[in-house]
Structure 1
């Protein structure tokens, strides 16, 4: 079997640092081998030229704005919930282009988020959710492009960046 490709949506550096710092603070160190990320597709085959072509085409657009709309407690972790109609439309378009290779998880409606804590007890996650929610105010972030990663059974290796057009 060929190696696995992951597709993420990249965010502006200031927000990348912010969410990565939160992961460093709240994610268990033994399991935190990734920077903050917004996963769009979890499992595509590497080496398919049609996937690269579709990503190149999809990046020929202005950056997508995301609303960081809330904080979600999902059992053993905490994530920031993202909202964007633009992103949903982009994701559906990519789902159509990637249809022959999609696993069940990647066929579902996108629920974009940035995980800042995972693999902890439900109690610990609930405490963090309550703490982060106390003074949370929704805010917008800009994205910079799409990126592919090779899955290395734990860590990810950056492959290729597909930058959005900046005007």
Structure 2
């Protein structure tokens, strides 16, 4: 099994979700199943079937998170010297050479990616184009509208 790159923050968020599932969600579902059983005939008991389905989703997510955390390779860039190189976990500000528009992205694992918060997956085309490059490098990134040239104007190890 290959290691899954993850920021320290991403691992912490998964641990919080796992704790919530085990200490709040799972006991609530068990109580819902017990209550639904008291309503009698299980064949026609919608509450029972809904609770059992919820239980399946909950247990599946618990297993998924535990597997991810056990295979996580936590990368904390704050503990590394900033040599201007774009790597997993860095925050990169790029300048669109044609439009002068600046965009700031943090390169994170697939689970943490959230484009609305400028968190991009290490596997996204933009991140793949940036990783390994240096501050002040120019990069061409394929977009749906064709190649766009960007200049890396800031690399932060936050």
User: Which bracket does the TM-score occupy, shorter chain normalised?
Assistant: under 0.3
Larger strand share, 1 or 2: 1
Structure with higher Rg: it is 2
What TM-score comes out, normalization by structure 1 length? 0.21
Q: Which has the higher contact order (CA 8 A, sep 6+)?
A: 1
TM-score by length of 2: 0.22
